[in-house]
Amino acid sequence: MSNSLGTVFRITSFGESHGECVGVVVDGCPAGVSIDPADIQTYLNRRRAAEQPGATPRKEPDAVRLLSGVHKGLTTGAPLCMLIENTNIQSEDYSDYERIPRPGHADYPARIRYGGFNDPRGGGRFSGRITAGFVMAGSIARAVLSHVGVQVYAHTVAIGSIEAPSCEPERVREFSRVDALGCIDPASAALMEGAIEEAKARGDSVGGVVECVVLGLPPGVGEPVFAGLEGEIARAVFSIPAVKGIEFGGGFALSRVRGSESNDPYVMDRGVVRTAKNDCGGILGGLSTGMPLVVRVGIKPTPSISIAQRTVDLDLGREVELSITGRHDTCIVPRAVVVVESMVACALCDLGVRSGLVPGVVA
């Protein structure tokens, strides 16, 4: 398994869905960064299943324990270890999936890869619950980035076929936390909630798209060619279970237009070089341009659904039908908004430290 991410600002994820705890160790964090556990908890609460439409009935306090690396409220330069305990477990719901793998989940390839020794309870290492560790790491990355004026925000832009109208990146800062769905546009949010409820009533699930914007990133951050901004962000974001697509700026749509439409003209704006539009999503050559970084993340529908599906009984070597019971999210997207922000922040923090944007000691 590969459980660490980053070159200098390096995070190591640990824990399983139904083990004692899930958590993260953050190494390579600059010293002198102010850390308030209440801020970490605020981010965790956005991920925690609570009022989000379609969230799993598995409710837990997800109270953060910050075990090391902070003294008198400031990072010391030593590793930070953070965890939350698993307090609400029903492992019996999962006892069949080692033998009868859930379509769309990791049960089958994990059994092959780890010879059946992987922890299957609640999906084990493949559960969305491990992303609580990502959020704790992200809260540290965000605290570091805020010292150099970089801020990361995300919002829900699509659920199923319902798409919110596009909005300026700067507006995401104002609105990204207004509702449990994380959608800026109230009219779209109402339709999205309806789509989630409809899927739930059918015993089905639905996916969607999260857009993340980074404001205040100066030009020149990134380590081309093999650790450019797109690659490092994609690597971090694809660590989030259920993420199946990513695009930057105009993304796939740019492949259908001419260069004269796709290129972002340079302009002088009050003495600063900017671009007149931002179809490159704030990245050229793997380096930041100084414009807002814009990344969209496609999240698939939750695999565990109660509608009967075809699968196989691996012990009997026979096709069977599976209707999944247990506690699952009808839609992962609302809970994933803060997870996307967190992984983008971790990737940027690592590149920020490597490029010298972030000093080793924050005064």
Ligand X SMILES: Cc1cc2nc3c(=O)[nH]c(=O)nc-3n(C[C@H](O)[C@H](O)[C@H](O)COP(=O)(O)O)c2cc1C
Residues that bind ligand X (CB under 6 A): 56, 105-106, 123, 126-128, 131, 240-242, 300, 302-304, 328-329, 332, 335-336, 339
Asked if 235 and 222 count as a contact pair (C-beta separation under 8 A), the reply is: no
**Residues linked to residue 295 through DSSP beta bridges, in sequence order:** 212, 248
Which residue, 118 or 131, is less far from ligand X as judged by CB?
131
Residue 272 CB, shortest distance to ligand X, in Å, is: 38
Which neighbouring-strand residues pair with 361? Answer: 31
Minimum CB separation from ligand X for residue 71, in Å?
32
Upper half-sphere CA count for residue 343 (Cβ side, 13 Å): 30
Nearer to ligand X, 120 or 128 (CB): 128
Residue with Cβ nearer ligand X (275 or 330): 330
**Least separation in angstroms between CB 171 and ligand X:** 25
Q: Which is nearer to ligand X, 10 or 335 (CB)?
A: 335
For 241, half-sphere exposure in the C-beta direction (CA atoms, 13 angstrom radius) is: 22
Q: Who contacts 207 (Cβ-Cβ below 8 Å, separation ≥6)?
A: 159, 160, 242, 298, 299, 300, 301, 302, 331, 332, 333
* In the complex, residue closest to ligand X by CB: 128
Buried b (16+ CB within 10 A) or exposed e, 296-326: bbbbbbbbbbbeebebbebeeeeeeebebeb
CB of 131 to ligand X, least distance (A): 5
Residue 79 CB, shortest distance to ligand X, in Å, is 25
Nearest in space to 265 (alpha carbons), one of 284, 256, 278: 278
Q: Which is nearer to ligand X, 107 or 264 (CB)?
A: 107
